[in-house]
Amino acid sequence: MERTSTAPKDAAAVILIRQDTDPNNPEVYWVKRSDKLAFLGGFHAFPGGQIDADDAAADVRNAPNSETAAMISGAARELFEELGVLVIRGGETLTKGQRESLLDDLESGRMPWSALLDHYNLHLDAEDFTYVGRWVTPPFNARRFDTWFFLAKCPPKQEPRVIAGELAEGEWLTARGAYARWMRDEVVAVPPTLHALRMLGAGVTPDLVERFLSLRHAQGEVARQITFRPNYLCFPVRTPTRPPATHTCCYLVHTSKELLIFDPGSPYEEEQQALAECIDEMVAAGRRVREIILTHHHPDHVGGVNALKTHLGGNVTVAAHEETAKILTDVHVDRFIQDNEIISLDGEPPLQLQAMHTPGHAPGHLCFHDAQRGVLITGDNIVGFGSVLIDPADGKMRDYLNSLERMRSLPNLSVLFGGHGPAVATPYKKIDEYISHRLERERTILKAVQNGVTDPKEIVAQVYTDVSPKAYAMAERAVMAHLEKLREDGKVR
């Protein structure tokens, strides 16, 4: 059941296959999304983007229906805009220079895509675009897309190149080679990208499309399990969390033999059941549930602990920081996790997580660092979607900033797994943003106080000009936390 998440927007992507490539392991063009993008910045993916209203107006021949035609048109346009590759009929005689000026006409907005094709006597043909599924972004993010994927062959004498803007880099790579890079933790990618690489890596066979579509998630059914990184499965569950977030990410960290469950947060039965089924499958595959671990005590992170414990037969250890255990009343913590404690998982590949006591958002907040794999489970200290509230009831701004600094000092981080939203593929940039955002707020609050404004309500009105009045009550809590820190720092009385 999805209640508050927004409807996904139509989008299209192109999996570009190289001319004359080895059909047993074809080369595909994959791209790294710019670090600056709010949606999946720094992720490896295929070129694509949101459908424009004008896409439906383009001349697309041989499409089974108008919806498919519009999607193909959007896919072709995105491919052209992002990589300069034009998969088009009637364009065979266009010179490189002519394609450049066409691109310029499109980018500068001189002519819309559909008019441009007409003007140059070009048209699209559905036969050049093989539909291989549609994937819907899980509802853990407000930005959601219903993305249609198409295979297309790169036309002769055209060479893709990354056009600055949404993409940072791109390259031809064999499907198996690209997948291996993901397996080696060198990139972060989403399930449809990985699925495509796996299918193509098994060869361009007559049943290729059938294999692509054999997954329910490749046919528009929202995936419940997301593996951004091998051995780290994200399972978002719907929770009564703070808007705009609607889900909390439960993480299932596993080897061939053992499984750790982080933050089973949903109090809703159907969500608990879905999670339990996923865990049951992992157990049926030969794994032992080692522990349920809590990053902190907030209800949206612990709401499903008791139900899961019961489901697993009652004798599973629940582990958390002692401070968390002190606050929790309905959930019993069996084991305390100490700062710097190392949790080692048996099996393949062996995994080691180091616990870090990182208070601020909550007194017993823990993060978990896998130094070997470059992973940091950040709980609510950093989230992939929404913002982190430091509420003086149990939050401390000074501790929080220290915790962020400590996280920032970890070497070789390549991905953050937060308590809400998708993984973050730009760890240091994200942590820096969090730190500078808080310090900037602190500066403006201090200035307001120095100008004689002391009432938190008034401070909010002056300082939080970028948030909607609906969020003022929360902003007021944050101001109190900032004032407390400024007092501790001796900057205000």
The footprint of Zn ion (CB under 5 A) covers 298, 380
Q: Note the Cα 42 to chain centre separation in Å.
A: 10
In the bound state with Zn ion, the residue whose beta carbon lies nearer, of 52 and 380, is 380
332 close to 239: Cβ distance less than 8 angstroms? no
Please say which residue, 134 or 298, places its beta carbon nearer to Zn ion.
298
Measured from the CB atom, the residue of 208 and 305 that comes closer to Zn ion is 305
Nearer to Zn ion, 229 or 365 (CB): 365
Cβ of residue 395: shortest distance to Zn ion, in angstroms? 9
Minimum CB distance to Zn ion smaller for 41 or for 395:
395
Q: Closest residue (Cβ) to Zn ion? A: 298
Nearest CB to Zn ion, comparing residues 400 and 464:
400
CB 459 within 8 A of CB 479: yes
- Give the amino acid at 439: L
Q: Which amino acid is at 183?
A: M
Task: Look at residues 288, 181, 166, 185 and name the one whose alpha carbon lies nearest to residue 230.
Answer: 185
236 Cβ contact partners less than 8 Å away, ≥ 6 residues apart: 138, 139, 140, 224, 226, 247, 248, 249, 250
Phi-psi label, residue 20: left if phi above 0, alpha if psi -120 to 50, beta otherwise: left
Where does residue 391 fall: left (phi above 0), alpha (psi -120 to 50 degrees), or beta otherwise? beta
Output the smallest distance, CB 381 to Zn ion, in A: 9
Grouping H, G, I as helix, E, B as strand and the rest as coil, residue 447 is helix
For residue 93, which phi and psi values (nearest 5 degrees)? Answer: -95, 0
229/298 with CB nearer Zn ion: 298
DSSP calls for 114-160: HHHHHHTT-BEEGGGSEEEEEEE--TTSSS-EEEEEEEEEPPTT---
Is the peptide bond preceding residue 349 cis, with omega within 30 degrees of 0? Answer: yes
